[in-house]
Amino acid sequence: MIRLQRVTKRFDGGSEALSNVSLRVDAGALAFLTGPSGAGKSTLLRLIARLERPTRGRIMVNGKDLETLPRNEVPRFRRSIGLVFQDHRLLFDRPVHANVALPLEILGYRRGEARKRVRAALDKVGLLQKENAQPQTLSAGEQQRVGIARAIVHRPALLLADEPTGNLDPRLSREIMQLFLDFNRVGVTALIASHNLELISGLGKPILHLENGNLEARHVTQARSAG
């Protein structure tokens, strides 16, 4: 599903975010990416989503070589991935159901099918009763759940999450992580950046440590969820 071969990312000015990173995550696996602030976690996820391009090295996602991917196929590729951000990135001028429906609008789903998918996604994250609410009236945990519903509404095979519990209390953090475990149990591949070692250490999933742009070569296979 995900394969990085000696990937380096250097930004303008010479700062190196990633240095010769190699990583393989098999389809159906879930892994956590940890490390201090500035270690390169967000950069790594953005490279996998083809939001950034490496300075050198090779990235393969679901059989596609991202370096040789034609420009006109990049939007379609990005739509095949579910992205979850720490800051939610919700649109506060439209209600919850419209926020979740955004990927389906882009993909051209008919209104009836889109509504079914939106309600199903909100039900999975426990927010079906909030579908007509405005995002600003929700708690931080609920806003994050809306972001997750939007990420999974088009049923992607791959989920990338960047510090999805960074602003949440311990109880809400456990609930959010449980959602990712539940998605993984039905076959979704997931790579989740998190600094919360206390939480992720007890989930029975591989933990990849990134520091100063360096990650030891790893191969993450599909494994059963904890419990």
Residue 162: predicted pLDDT: 94
Asked whether residue 17 is domain-assigned, the answer is yes
User: Taking a C-beta distance cutoff of 8 angstroms, is the pair 195, 163 a contact?
Assistant: yes
Same domain, 163 and 138: no
Residue 217: predicted pLDDT: 55
Asked whether residue 183 is domain-assigned, the answer is yes
Same domain, 16 and 50: yes
Single out the residue in 156, 175, 197 at which a domain terminates: 156
- Could you tell me the residue range of the domain that residue 121 belongs to? 92-156
Asked whether residue 2 is domain-assigned, the answer is yes
Same domain, 145 and 215: no
Same domain, 150 and 167: no
Name the domain count of the chain.
Answer: 2
Exposed, middle or buried, 212 (CB in 10 Å: 0-12/13-18/19+)? middle
Same domain, 76 and 112: no
Residue 66: predicted pLDDT: 95
User: Taking a C-beta distance cutoff of 8 angstroms, is the pair 146, 138 a contact?
Assistant: yes
What does pTM read for this prediction?
A: 0.89
Give the C-alpha separation, 70 to 62, whole Å. Answer: 15
- Domain CATH code at residue 191: 3.40.50.300
- How large is the C-alpha radius of gyration of the chain? 17
List, in sequence order, the alpha helices (H) in the chain.
41-48, 74-79, 96-107, 111-124, 140-152, 170-185, 197-200
Ordered per-residue pLDDT tens for the chain, 227 residues: 899 999 999 988 778 999 999 999 999 999 999 998 888 999 999 999 999 999 999 999 999 999 999 999 998 898 889 999 877 789 999 999 999 999 999 888 999 999 999 999 999 999 999 999 999 999 988 999 999 999 999 999 999 999 998 878 888 889 889 999 999 999 999 999 998 889 999 999 999 999 888 986 567 775 544 33
Same domain, 54 and 28: yes
Give the C-alpha separation, 34 to 44, whole Å. Answer: 11
